Amino acid sequence: MKLAFFGDVVGRSGRRAVTKHLPRLREDLKLDAVVINGENAAGGFGITESTAGELYDAGADVITLGNHSFDNAGALSYIEREPRLLRPVNYPEGTAPGKGSGLYEIGGFRLLVVNVLGRVFMDALDDPFAAVNKELDACPLGEIADVIIIDIHAEATSEKNAMGHVCDGRASLVVGTHQHVPTADTRILAGGTAYQSDAGMCGDYSGVIGMDKAEPIHRFTTRLRGGRFEVASGEATVCGVFVETDNKTGLAIRAEPIRIGPGLMPHMPEV
């Protein structure tokens, strides 16, 4: 199975880039499934039904979220109606609407997607490792699921790296989101799980992690607020990870980064 995961879509510029490039990527890379983190899709903070719709229309099969899951109030009701939208699985039971994992039939494959929030330098939810272990135990790779993707939305690369090793041999891909900068550690771990500490963002890299640079620079240099953060509006770069799995085991046999657009060194897998 060939699949792609794309990092945090930031605002209108990120959505436009996904809309522009994803249809061709699905065709050129012969993708069976696409998962996108969309927690910054609406104005840089949260997601709405209409912004999620743009990503689905562009070719996303599943959308994951993160610490900004419910910054837009409408997401609270929308996530109850949209099974392809996932918030972190480790919210304390009964505190958040929606679900944190989903098993989907896509192109003849059974795809399990799990979204989990880290705890280091983040809002402290329940134990992310226990939550992911519970999901993997309930839906084993190669038995109930043909392919498994874990999106760990976290600040610390060490926490993400640990999650990769905990899931090694039990998931097809463990990929980090939230930091908005693609890491250079795309690899397949010893047990056959593809891993990258951060997928990067689908956003304008001329700003500061997707935001217009003026306000972040003002705050860093003066320690004062000068106004609101605004999404950088230049041409966005699409960043993600391409993974090919063994159809018998569900483990990765190939993993490469995807980078398309200005601001970063481009990389496009060959199929």
Catalytic residues: 68
What is the C-alpha separation between 173 and 195, in angstroms, rounded? 6
Task: Count other Cβ atoms within 10 Å, centred on residue 91.
Answer: 21
Between CA 185 and CA 205 the distance in angstroms is 20
Would you put residue 121 in left (φ > 0), alpha (ψ -120 to 50) or beta? left
Q: Are 180 and 202 in contact (CB under 8 A)?
A: no
What is the total residue count of the chain? Answer: 271
Decide: helix, strand or coil at residue 114. Answer: strand
Q: Cα-flanking dihedrals φ and ψ of residue 86, to 5°?
A: -120, 135
- β-strand 194-196 against 238-245: which pairing, if any? unpaired
Structure tokens at 137: 């135990």
Residue in this structure with the two tokens 């085991």, named with its chain if needed: 249
